[in-house]
Copies of this chain bind each other. A is one copy, B any other.
């Protein structure tokens, strides 16, 4: 049975209740934790983080840069989940995200791949039911679809 955007939104927002943004230590850790998971499990992708190409999870833990980067990433995930049922706003946020990442010359396949990493992090650091995981992957497919259209319209590599 296919789910509405509002249903997907509510499921994804709910998964983030235990990963709230904020300035308290547990909020900081929810953001930084993503990069610890990411760098441990996908070390090849550290190449996109200049100066941190050899960072271990321990280096991330001590890094102010990844404290901030972690909050930014976490906030972005909250935003895409919260606005998923406002389709044009969601798509505009995707395009803006692509614009901001243009300078990093990323492999365009990474936009979809991100959602496997992200759901992997949610799974590892808390819990994620099959229904929650598939909601995030469905949101990710839409994110990726708008990403690739926008990359194409910018005459940049796309999948």
Residues of A within 8 A of B (CB): 13, 20-23, 27, 68, 71-72, 74-75, 78-79, 82-83, 86, 88-89, 91-93, 95-96, 99, 153
| B88:A82 contact, CB within 8 angstroms | no
| A89:B93 contact, CB within 8 angstroms | no
| A21:B71 contact, CB within 8 angstroms | no
Q: A27, A96, A99 — which one has the most chain B CB atoms within 10 A of its CB?
A: A96
Please name all residues of chain B whose beta carbon is closer than 8 Å to the beta carbon of A27 when the two chains form the complex.
Answer: 88
Please tell me which one of the listed residues B13, B23, B93 contacts residue A79 in the complex, with CB atoms under 8 A apart: B93
Supposing A72-B96, A96-B72 touch, asked if A79 and B83 sit within 8 A by C-beta, the answer is: yes
CB distance from A80 to the nearest CB of B (A): 10
Q: Which 8 A-B pairs have the closest CB atoms?
A: A21-B92, A78-B89, A75-B92, A82-B83, A20-B88, A22-B88, A21-B88, A82-B86
